[in-house]
């Protein structure tokens, strides 16, 4: 295996010449580089850190961050944060207890002291920080990594919490895995013969592919025919972007997939053509029906009364917020409705009056958090409806709620009537 080469500047960081915080970060990046056989480090355009909720970090995680911040560590590239466990300024209104809110705010303070931008969103690609094709990134949120790699043609491995923060502090990551051309070629053919019509169908497809392939690079020769064209401004979401963000999130949640290609559609598969396709004798998965996925994700079929409807996993796009506002105009919800989104997306939608229309119907457009990382159990929620495959995956175990899974319209009807019909 080749020795990991460091530049003189990187060597100096490793020797501690820029202080103990930078030294610790460089030790982590170098250790990962050696474990994975990287030849060198590569500068990253941005970093995204997951593991921001106090619900997951606890006191030990908070102490670890404070310690690193005290050592003078500071991000040298734009560094964004995943959602935390509550909304920054409306946590009291949400019913969050102060003994959760205080340490949660401390966690964000420790990150921002180190230079992180409190985007508090799992959709950094919908914000002002959308990566460009070919950018190397050190992102941690699995649904964001797969979107950046597949739909935008950027390059990121799925980083862990400490390794992403380390990459931010040194501005580099080890060049291995999906940073290398050789690892971006398709490994499995996935032929989709079932109709895939809407967001939950794409989530169901992501579930089936994630379960069947687990790790690898799925290559879809024919799925593009079931998608509208990708918009030029992906930061708005849109029919295609919203479906792909859900499908990728499901593949990453139910499997360990961080990149896929749609022949003739996603940027690398469009340009590299057959060069990116798997070898003809590679494993082949044929999807004839989505039923098996619905049977798992919409498993609590005896549940009809819905406490909370959760939309926005990954965080809702501007396009999704507009769809919801259109549906709810002139109506009033009976169940709680949370539409979780990035603060910046909410601001953009509020400027167009979209947020106000959802909230006039009794819905709640929630920033900074989501129903998986917020302590919704302590808010008395026992049953949930969602159109998001990743929420259907995690909510039963993380939040111990029963879940119904279906289309946006069905979820919004459940919000209006309090019933899953």
How big, in percent rounded to 5, are the helix, strand and coil portions of the chain?
45, 15, 40
Chain CA centroid to CA 133, Å? 18
Query: Which residue number, 68 or 147, has a Cβ lying nearer to ligand F3S?
Result: 147
143 binds ligand F3S (CB under 6 A): yes
Determine the Cα–Cα distance for residues 139 and 149; give it in Å rounded to an integer. Answer: 10
Report the residue number, 141 or 307, with the smaller CB distance to ligand F3S. 141
Question: Is 370 one of the binding residues for ligand F3S (CB under 6 A)?
Answer: yes
Report the residue number, 249 or 411, with the smaller CB distance to ligand F3S.
249
DSSP code string of 205-254: HHHHHHHHHSSS-EEESSGGGGSPPPPS-GGG--HHHHHHHHHHHHHHHH
Count the site residues for ligand F3S by CB under 6 A: 14
By CB under 6 A, residue 340 contacts ligand F3S: yes
Q: Which is nearer to ligand F3S, 232 or 397 (CB)?
A: 397
Specify the stretch interacting with ligand F3S by CB under 6 A; choose among 159-167, 203-211, 271-279, 307-315: 307-315
DSSP 95: T
Let me know: does 129 contact 89? Beta carbons within 8 Å. no
Q: Which is nearer to ligand F3S, 49 or 224 (CB)?
A: 49
Question: Smallest gap, in angstroms, from Cβ of residue 172 to ligand F3S?
Answer: 26
What are 138's strand-pairing partners? Answer: 47
Given candidates 372, 385, 392, 415, which one binds ligand F3S under the rule CB under 6 A? 372
Q: Which of 122, 164, 223, 414 contacts ligand F3S by CB under 6 A? A: 122
Contact segment (CB under 6 A) with ligand F3S among 36-44, 177-185, 258-266, 369-377 equals: 369-377
Q: Give least dist CB 369 to ligand F3S, A.
A: 8
Stretch that binds ligand F3S, among 21-29, 39-47, 293-301, 311-319 (CB under 6 A): 311-319
Q: What span, in angstroms and rounded, lies between the C-alpha atoms of 33 and 268?
A: 25
| Residue 392 touches ligand F3S, criterion: CB under 6 A | no
Which parts of 38-67 interact with ligand F3S (CB under 6 A)? Answer: none
The smaller minimum CB distance to ligand F3S, of residues 42 and 250, is found at: 250
Least distance in Å: CB of 246 to ligand F3S? 9
- DSSP three-state, residue 190: strand
Q: Between 165 and 372, name the residue whose CB sits nearer to ligand F3S.
A: 372
Tell which one of 23, 46, 82, 345 touches ligand F3S (CB under 6 A).
Answer: 82
Give the residue from 326, 359, 329, 360 showing the smallest Cα distance to 341. 359
Q: Which of 249, 365, 385, 411 binds ligand F3S (CB under 6 A)?
A: 249
Please name the helix (run of DSSP H) or strand (run of DSSP E) that holds residue 365, with its range, or none: strand 364-367
Phi and psi at 338, nearest 5°, equal -110, 125
Using the minimum distance from each CB to ligand F3S, give the nearer residue, 168 or 339: 339
Distance from C-alpha of 25 to C-alpha of 21, rounded to nearest angstrom: 6
Per CB under 6 A, 83 contacts ligand F3S: yes
CB of 370 to ligand F3S, least distance (A): 3
Cα(150)–Cα(140) distance, integer angstroms: 15
Tell me which stretch binds ligand F3S (CB under 6 A): 67-75, 102-110, 292-300, 312-320: 312-320
Cβ-based nearer residue to ligand F3S, 23 or 82 = 82
Judged by CB under 6 A, does residue 314 bind ligand F3S? yes
User: Residue 242: which of 165, 184, 317, 298 has the closest Cα?
Assistant: 317
Residue 34 and residue 84 in contact, taking contact as beta carbons nearer than 8 Å? no
In 7-120, beta strands by DSSP E:
41-43, 46-49, 79-81
Determine the Cα–Cα distance for residues 175 and 157; give it in Å rounded to an integer: 9
Q: Is 84 in the site for ligand F3S (CB under 6 A)?
A: no
- The total number of residues shown for the chain amounts to 421
Pair of tokens at residue 154? 């950027």
- d(C-alpha 234, C-alpha 227), whole Å: 14
Which residues are near ligand F3S by CB under 6 A?
82-83, 122, 143, 249, 313-315, 340, 370, 372-373, 390, 394
């Amino acid at each position: 295996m080749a020795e990991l080469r460091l530049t003189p500047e990187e060597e100096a960081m490793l020797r501690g010449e820029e202080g103990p915080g930078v030294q610790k970060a460089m030790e982590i990046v170098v250790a990962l580089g050696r474990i994975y056989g990287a030849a060198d480090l590569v500068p990253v355009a941005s970093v995204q850190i997951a593991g921001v909720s106090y619900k997951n970090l606890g006191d030990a995680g908070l102490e670890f961050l404070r310690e690193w911040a005290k050592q003078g560590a500071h991000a040298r590239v734009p560094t964004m944060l995943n959602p935390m466990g509550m909304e920054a300024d409306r946590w009291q209104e949400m019913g969050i207890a102060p003994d959760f809110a205080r340490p949660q705010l401390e966690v964000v303070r420790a990150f921002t002291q180190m230079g992180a931008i409190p985007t508090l969103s799992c959709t950094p690609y919908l914000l002002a920080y959308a990566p460009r094709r070919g950018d190397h990134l050190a992102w941690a949120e699995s649904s964001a990594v797969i979107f950046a790699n597949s739909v935008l043609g950027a390059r990121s491995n799925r980083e862990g919490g400490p390794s992403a923060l380390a990459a931010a502090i040194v501005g580099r990551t080890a060049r291995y895995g999906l940073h290398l051309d050789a690892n971006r070629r398709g490994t499995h053919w996935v032929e989709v013969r079932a109709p895939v019509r809407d967001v939950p169908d794409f989530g169901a497809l992501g579930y089936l592919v994630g379960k069947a392939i687990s790790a690898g690079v799925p290559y879809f020769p024919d799925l593009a025919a079931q998608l509208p064209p990708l918009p030029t401004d992906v930061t708005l979401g849109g029919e295609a972007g919203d479906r792909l963000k859900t499908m990728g999130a499901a593949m990453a949640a139910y499997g360990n997939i961080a990149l896929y290609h749609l022949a003739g559609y996603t940027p690398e598969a469009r340009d590299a053509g057959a060069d990116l396709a798997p070898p003809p004798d590679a494993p082949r998965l044929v999807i004839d029906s989505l039923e098996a996925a619905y049977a798992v994700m919409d498993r609590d079929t005896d549940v009809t009364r819905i406490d909370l409807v959760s939309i926005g996993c990954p965080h809702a796009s501007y396009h999704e917020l507009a769809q919801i506002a259109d549906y709810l105009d002139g109506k009033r919800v009976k169940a709680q409705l949370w539409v979780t989104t990035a603060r910046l997306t909410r601001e953009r939608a509020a400027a167009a009056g979209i947020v106000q229309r959802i909230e006039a119907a009794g819905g709640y457009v929630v920033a900074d958090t989501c129903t998986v990382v917020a302590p919704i159990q302590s808010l008395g929620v026992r049953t949930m409806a969602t159109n998001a495959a990743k929420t259907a995956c995690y909510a039963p175990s993380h939040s111990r709620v029963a879940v119904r899974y279906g289309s946006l319209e069905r979820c919004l009807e459940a919000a209006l009537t309090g019933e899953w019909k």
